[in-house]
Amino acid sequence: MGLATLSSMANIYTLNVPNQGVGTYTIKARSTDDSGTIKTTGAITVSVREGKVYGTPETITPVPLYTMSGPYGYNEYLPKGYDENDTVKKWPLVISLHGRGGIPGISGTTGQVQIDQLDTAMEGVFETFKMDGLTLPAVVLQPQSGGVSGHEWDEVEGFIVYALSKYNVDPDRVYLSGNSYGANIGALTYASGGTNTNPYARRLAALFPMCGGQFNATKVKGTRMANVPMWLFTSWGDNVGGSIGAINAINYAAGVNPYNDTTIATSVLRDLLFSFSTVGHENFNNGVAVTTTTATQAEADSMSVPKFIPLSGDKIDAMRTVSYVNNTWNWNTDYQRNPGSKIMLTLLPNYLHTIWNDTYAISDLWTWVFQQTRTPAVRAVFKSERFAATPAVVNKAYTGNVSTNTVAPNGRARTVSRDTTGPAWLTIAPDGTLSGKPCVADIGLNSWNVAVTTTDANNAVVTETSELLIMVEVPGYNTWWQKQNGVTGVSPPIASGPAGDDDRDGLSNYFEYVAGLDPLSSGSTFSFSIAQAGGNRLITFGPLTKGTTYTVKRTDALASGLWTSLQTVTPASATTSMTVTDTAVLNSNYFYTVGISKP
């Protein structure tokens, strides 16, 4: 490797290797004593990065092709607090592959692929950044594929190698996703590629593609990615890509042969959805998938699956998540999964193709993703290297306790603290009690390094750190927002999250959502006025929506934070305005506010 110099400070060593190319190297130290005896140490691995990033934390930055050494141009998201020179903190890496709609177009003038138009790739996770105000404690990259049909995602391996060399990320926490074409030809094809002895899946800590129904699943491919924790999402009514590819990817990864695969012996555990596999495709009725299986009733009765699995034309009745645990399929409602499972599939009913508009915004997905690692650390105090607490709600008090995630042998005392780099809204008491109130700016997955100090059996002081993950949500907000996502012809276009003001009327998108207004219409506003009438004061506000609660309050000193409630009303029907009278306030100065609470 040439001449190198080594410096040390606080047991952190920095190796300066001039003119060394990017890559991974092994180094051995050699010493010669006075007698001429030579001794050599064991080898250590050193990674050399380019050491340059393009954007600033919590923003989306386009990095066009040919401005760096990567095989694709890409959109870049850096987490809050990202420091490429931090020798201790290594960030997770999320790579999101766009669908066919993100493939760059062809210039009508030059006939060349317009590869630098990175706005076309803005799908999936990056749309959720914009639409929901989502933040993640990770480096997130969205490469833009090439324009050669059938070879759009041939360089995913090269892009991951590039990202690991360029960014300050943890190679044991690389997470791969993709939507539609980015799931089929992208994430699933990559994770099942390579060779049996050296599969690409070895790089991944988790795999979570959306709508991979056209993936060409085989037993060989499933075996290659069987050891990667995976959570697949597909729609029962997908009228573009179907569902069978994702379903069989789960089958093969679990070691289960699809029902109609006669090339290999039938496994003991039945196919996940044998009614699909018998036919090999879905038929659609008003956008909802139905089957025309020829399975006999005896075969159906022998299946150890719940009744909601479609048979003979039935359709799925609710969202279901299946987990593969101990050679058994375990079904739950909604997004609930079995904690011990590494292989999961969520089926969404009554959806068409673009389910990622919802699924990339769910808290359970991200808290699961960021707990996955290829090489978990040995723990003495904490039960795991990172753990998730219950989700928090914007502008509502949060409580919890981290002590349940620690082990204090023989009841020895513990002192809990957290680092200062995490979001400021959360307080952790010495006994592990959590408290605080997140705001709109905290929406997304929040993380902190939590330390516990205790003593071991010999009364020696032991301190161990683990990462605490809490998703901050706005109940109902994501559902409304994502319904607007992808709608064509919207003017002005939705271009920001809850704290934004898309219609430029001075009211944030979040306020307008809570108040029942249209965040995209400048004519949809909330009015508030105060008028004097004799010895009374009239507070008029509106419009009011059905079922929403409005509370008029007053205070004589803003700094005190003390408000007196004058009247609370929850209208049974929508109304244009309402007036509340504050009596006997002649010659008195007050401040007034209207609190709005959405059910």
Provide the pLDDT confidence category of residue 221 given band limits of 50, 70 and 90. Answer: very high
E strands present in 302-357: 320-325, 328-333, 343-348
Element (H, E) at 451: strand 444-455
What are the tens digits of pLDDT across the range 581-599? Answer: 998 776 678 999 999 988 7
CB 598 within 8 A of CB 560: no
Token pair 């999961």 is at which residue?
A: 344
The yes-or-no verdict on residue 580 having pLDDT over 50 is yes
pTM of the model: 0.76
51-211+356-375: CATH architecture = 3-Layer(aba) Sandwich (3.40)
What is the Cα–Cα distance from 562 to 199, expressed in whole angstroms?
A: 62
Average pLDDT value for the chain: 80
| CATH level 3 topology of 477-597 | Immunoglobulin-like (2.60.40)
Strand-pairing partners, residue 581, are: 538
Distance of CA 155 to the CA centre of its chain: 24
In this predicted structure, which of 51-65, 429-443, 469-483 has the lowest mean pLDDT?
A: 469-483
pLDDT, position 2 = 42
pLDDT, position 320 = 77
* 480 Rama sector, left if φ>0, alpha if ψ -120 to 50, beta otherwise: alpha
In this predicted structure, which of 83-92, 213-222, 413-422 has the lowest mean pLDDT?
A: 413-422
Domain boundaries, the chain: 5-48, 51-211+356-375, 222-353, 386-473, 477-597
What are the tens digits of pLDDT across the range 304-357? Answer: 333 334 433 334 556 778 888 888 777 777 888 888 899 999 988 766 788 887
If you average pLDDT over each of 5-14, 72-81, 230-239, 519-528, which comes out highest?
Answer: 72-81
The yes-or-no verdict on residue 248 having pLDDT over 80 is yes
CB 270 within 8 A of CB 303: yes
Domain 386-473 in this protein, CATH class: mainly beta
- As a whole number, mean pLDDT of residues 269-277 equals 50
Token pair 């219950």 is at which residue?
A: 390
pLDDT, position 8 = 35
- As a whole number, mean pLDDT of residues 409-438 equals 87
Alpha helices, H only, 193-257: 219-224, 244-253
CB 96 within 8 A of CB 21: no
Q: HSE-up of 561 (CA within 13 Å, CB side)?
A: 0
What is the Cα–Cα distance from 354 to 210, expressed in whole angstroms?
A: 9
The yes-or-no verdict on residue 217 having pLDDT over 80 is yes
* 150 Rama sector, left if φ>0, alpha if ψ -120 to 50, beta otherwise: left
Task: Pick the closest to residue 498 from 592, 423, 393 (CA basis).
Answer: 393
pLDDT, position 51 = 53
pLDDT, position 95 = 98
- Burial (CB count <10 Å: 0-12, 13-18, 19+), residue 157: middle
Provide the pLDDT confidence category of residue 237 given band limits of 50, 70 and 90. Answer: low
pLDDT, position 121 = 85
Task: List the structure tokens of 178.
Answer: 């993709």
Element (H, E) at 60: strand 60-63
| Residues 6+ away with beta carbon under 8 Å from 291 | 275, 276, 279, 282, 283, 310, 311, 312, 313, 314
What is the Cα–Cα distance from 557 to 512, expressed in whole angstroms?
A: 27
What is the Cα–Cα distance from 24 to 45, expressed in whole angstroms?
A: 7
- Alpha-carbon torsion 223, 224, 227, 232, what sign? negative
The CA distances from residue 376 to 128, 205, 316, 384, 385, in Å, are 29, 10, 37, 8, 7
Task: List the structure tokens of 228.
Answer: 């990667």
In this predicted structure, which of 108-122, 291-305, 330-344 has the lowest mean pLDDT?
A: 291-305
In this predicted structure, which of 297-301, 490-494, 571-575 has the lowest mean pLDDT?
A: 297-301
What is the Cα–Cα distance from 341 to 229, expressed in whole angstroms?
A: 8
The yes-or-no verdict on residue 425 having pLDDT over 60 is yes
If you average pLDDT over each of 109-118, 184-193, 258-267, which comes out highest?
Answer: 184-193
| Residues 6+ away with beta carbon under 8 Å from 36 | none
- Residue 286's identity, in one-letter code, is N
- Name which residue leads in pLDDT, 358 or 80: 80
N-to-C CA span, the chain: 64
Token pair 């050699």 is at which residue?
A: 30
pLDDT, position 528 = 94
- Name which residue leads in pLDDT, 84 or 41: 84
Same fold: 51-211+356-375 with 386-473? no
Strand-pairing partners, residue 431, are: none
If you average pLDDT over each of 80-84, 167-171, 292-296, 336-340, which comes out highest?
Answer: 167-171
